[in-house]
Amino acid sequence: MRAQIWRRGDLRLLLVGLVFILAWGGIGYRLFDLQGNQALANAEYGFDQRIRERAIDPPRGTIYDRDGVELAMTIDGFNVVVDPMLLDNPQAAAAILAPFSDKSHDELAAELVKGRATERRYVEIAMRVDARTKTVIEMAVDEANKAEIARAGDKAELIKVYYRDQPLRVYPAGSIAAQVIGLVGFDDNSGLEGLEKTFDSELEGRPGRIIVEVDPSGRAIPQGEVLVEPAVAGSDIITSIDREIQFAAEQALRKAMQTTNAIGGSVVVVLVRTGEVVAMASWPGLDLNDRSEIAPSVLRNRAVADVYEPGSTLKTITVAAAIDQGIVTSQTPIDTPRSVVIGEFEYEDHGANPAWMPVEDVIMRSSNVGTIEIQRRLSNALHYEYLTAFGLGRPSGLDVAGERHGTLEPSSSWNETSGSSIAIGYAVNTTALQMAAVYGTIANDGIWTEPYLVDTILRPNGDEIRTNPRSRRVLSSETAAEMRRLLGRVVENDSGTGRRARMSDFTAGGKTGTSQKFDVEAGVYSNDTTASFIGMAPLNDPTVVVAVVLDSPNGILVDGADLSLGGASAAPVFAEVAQNALHQLGVIPDRD
C-alpha cells in the first residue's frame, strides 16, 4: 500500500509544491524585508523621490511717496538659463539666445559647446530680466523651434530654455530721492542703505514654503500638495517725500554744484506744522536702476550723514535764547568792536560794522562780535540748555540708516572759548536736518517737532502704524514771532546777508552760515568753507523750512560776491527750492 502512495506523480506534485512554497516564501521574505526591515529607509527614499520642497519668496513691500506714487517696488524677474546637455545644436541655440545675453554669439556658442563636453547642466543666458523680456525670449525660442520642426520633423533639434524666478527691485523714479530710499542686495533683495535698510525687517516679509508631490518628470501632481505655508508679504511704507519738491530740490542743488564748484551738498525741506520731510536731496546723485555707476560715497545721505560746523546759522539759537530769557530784546544795543579777544582766540566780524548795533542788526549783519557779547550775557549753562532743547547733539528721531547725531559737549566741560565759539557756530557739529529742525521750531511758534520721513507703515493684515512725532516747546510764542521778524530782515532788508534768498512770490526769513572747514590731518582750519542757508517761508505763517548746505563752494560772481559764503552760494538755492515747494503745496503767494 505505501509504495502506491509515493508514486512518481506524487513526487512531481510535491516538487512543484515545494517550488511554489519556496517561490512564495522568497517573495514573502522579500516583502517582509522591504515592508518591515527596510520600511523606514524605503519610505524616506520614496518621500525624497516624489516630494519637493520649494521656498516661497515673500513680495517685498513697496515704498511710496506722499501721494501714493511708487518710489521703490518689486516686480517679477527671471534668470534665463539652459542645460547644455539638452541642447542638440548649441550653435543654433547661441544664435537665438545671444541677443538677450551679455555674451556675444561666439562666446555663448563656445560656452554651450564646452558645457556639453564637460556635462555641465547650467549655463546662464541672461540674469535679472523682466517679464516682458522673458516673453520676448519665449517668443523667439518658440518661433525657432517651430521653424526647426517644420524643417526636420521628428528629428528637429529643439532649444529648451528655463526661467528661474528672481524678483527685481526697481525704482520708477531712478535718481529721485535715491539716497533716502537706499538700495537692496543684488541677489537677496535685502536692504543695504537708506529706508531699504532701516525698514528692512518691515519690508522683507516672511518667506513661506510649499511641499508638493511630483511625478517622475518633476511636475507637481494636482491635489498632491502636502503642505503650503504661504509667504507673508512685506509691509508697504508711505514716506513723506513729495516727488515734485524732491525733484526741484535736486535740480536746484545740481545747478548750484555747477555754479559754485562745490564738491557736495544737501537740501532738506520740512513742513513746519507736522515735521514731515518732503524733500531730502544729496549731491553727488545716483540712479538706483543703474548699479554700474554706484559708488559707496554717493550712496551717503548727506543731509543726515554729514556733520559740519554750522557757522552763523547757529547764531539764531544764541539770540533766541537771550530774548526768550529776557536778557536782551531786539532793540538792545550791543557793542560791536572790530574784534574781541577771548582766551587764545581773537574773534572778528566779516566786513565793516558800526561800533554798536541793536540785536536785530546783529542778526541781520551776522556779527560774530555782537553774538559773542549776547552769549556772554546769556551764560554757558543757559546757552547749553537751549542748544539741547533745539535738538543738537542728539538723534533727530528720523531713524534712517547712517544718521549721525553731531557733537555738543556738555557745558560743564566747556573751556574759556567754548561758549563764544559755539555762539557763532563753531566747536559744535550738526547735520543739515538738525538745523532744519532748529529753524522749524522758530517757524512753528517755538515748538520743536521731530522730523520724520515715514508717515505710515501698512502691514499686510491691514494694520496701520502711523508716525506720531514728538514735540516740545522750546521758545515762547512771542520769542518765536520776534525771531521770525529778525530772520525776515536778513532776507528782506537790502543790508541783510541773506538778501539773495529773496523770492518773487513769497516773503521769507532765514540765516546765512559760513564756516571754515577743519583740516583734520593738518590740525588747522582750512580756507575751504561749508556754506549754508536755512530759512522759512512765507514769513508771516511759515509752511516750509528749507536748509541748504554746500561743501567747499568757491569762485566769484560777476557782481563780486564770494561764492564761498552762504549768502552768495546757498541763499539762491533756498529761494529756488522754497518757491517751488510752496507752489507745489498750493500756498497762496504773499508778495505783491
Partner 1 sequence: MTAQAIPYRTHRSSAADGRAHASGPRILPMSLFVLAVVAVFFSMIFLRISLDETAFELAELEAGIELEQSRQLDLRFDIAGLQDPLRIANEAQRIGLVHPDVRVAITVDLVATDAQVLHQDAPVRALNGARP
- Grid look-up 527614499 returns 45
Q: Which is nearer to partner 1, 170 or 232 (CB)?
A: 170
Q: Which is nearer to partner 1, 153 or 222 (CB)?
A: 222
The SS3 call for residue 87 is coil
Q: How far apart are CA 458 and CA 110, in angstroms?
A: 50
Q: How far apart are CA 308 and CA 432, in angstroms?
A: 8
Residue ranges that bind partner 1, judged by CB under 8 A:
64, 66-71, 73-76, 130-132, 170, 172-176, 220, 222-223, 236, 238, 240, 243-244, 246-247, 251, 271, 273-274, 455-456, 458, 464, 504-505, 543, 585-589
Q: Which is nearer to partner 1, 240 or 301 (CB)?
A: 240
Q: How far is the CB of 563 from partner 1 (least distance, A)?
A: 24
Q: How far apart are CA 387 and CA 515, in angstroms?
A: 18
109 dihedral zone (left: phi>0; alpha: psi -120 to 50; beta): alpha
User: Cα–chain-centroid distance for residue 525?
Assistant: 32
Q: How far is the CB of 29 from partner 1 (least distance, A)?
A: 33
Q: How far is the CB of 322 from partner 1 (least distance, A)?
A: 33
Q: How far apart are CA 458 and CA 199, in angstroms?
A: 12
CB 180 within 8 A of CB 194: yes
Burial string for 11-38 (b: 16+ CB within 10 Å, else e) reads eeeeeeeeeeeeeeeeeeeeeeeeeeee
Q: Which is nearer to partner 1, 60 or 103 (CB)?
A: 60
**The dihedral sign for the CA sequence 324, 325, 326, 332:** negative
Q: How far is the CB of 95 from partner 1 (least distance, A)?
A: 28
Q: Which is nearer to partner 1, 150 or 588 (CB)?
A: 588
Q: Which is nearer to partner 1, 238 or 545 (CB)?
A: 238
Type of residue numbered 297: S
Q: How far is the CB of 68 from partner 1 (least distance, A)?
A: 4
Q: Which three cell numbers mark 511?
A: 540765516
Contacts of 345 (CB under 8 A, 6+ apart): 417, 420, 421
Q: Which is nearer to partner 1, 481 or 585 (CB)?
A: 585
Q: How far is the CB of 288 from partner 1 (least distance, A)?
A: 12
Q: Which is nearer to partner 1, 240 or 497 (CB)?
A: 240
Q: How far apart are CA 458 and CA 61, in angstroms?
A: 9
Q: Which is nearer to partner 1, 271 or 565 (CB)?
A: 271
Q: How far is the CB of 506 from partner 1 (least distance, A)?
A: 10
Q: Which is nearer to partner 1, 76 or 143 (CB)?
A: 76
* Nearest 10 degrees: Cα torsion 316, 318, 323, 329: -80
The SS3 call for residue 468 is coil
Q: How far apart are CA 427 and CA 343, in angstroms?
A: 15
Q: Which is nearer to partner 1, 429 or 580 (CB)?
A: 580
User: Cα–chain-centroid distance for residue 304?
Assistant: 12
Q: How far is the CB of 215 from partner 1 (least distance, A)?
A: 12
Q: How far is the CB of 254 from partner 1 (least distance, A)?
A: 11
**The dihedral sign for the CA sequence 177, 252, 447, 537:** negative
CB 491 within 8 A of CB 537: no
Q: How far is the CB of 367 from partner 1 (least distance, A)?
A: 36
Q: How far is the CB of 511 from partner 1 (least distance, A)?
A: 25
Return phi, psi of residue 265, to 5°: 180, 170
- Grid look-up 513729495 returns 242
Q: How far is the CB of 177 from partner 1 (least distance, A)?
A: 11
Q: Which is nearer to partner 1, 232 or 382 (CB)?
A: 232
Q: How far is the CB of 100 from partner 1 (least distance, A)?
A: 18
- Grid look-up 544795543 returns 333
Type of residue numbered 534: I
| 3-state DSSP of 353-420 | CCCEEEHHHHHHCCCHHHHHHHHHHHCHHHHHHHHHHCCCCCCCCCCCCCCCCCECCCHHHCCCCHHH
Q: Which is nearer to partner 1, 194 or 370 (CB)?
A: 194
The H or E element containing residue 578 is helix 571-584
What are residue 266's DSSP bridge partners? Answer: 282, 549
Contacts of 527 (CB under 8 A, 6+ apart): 516, 564
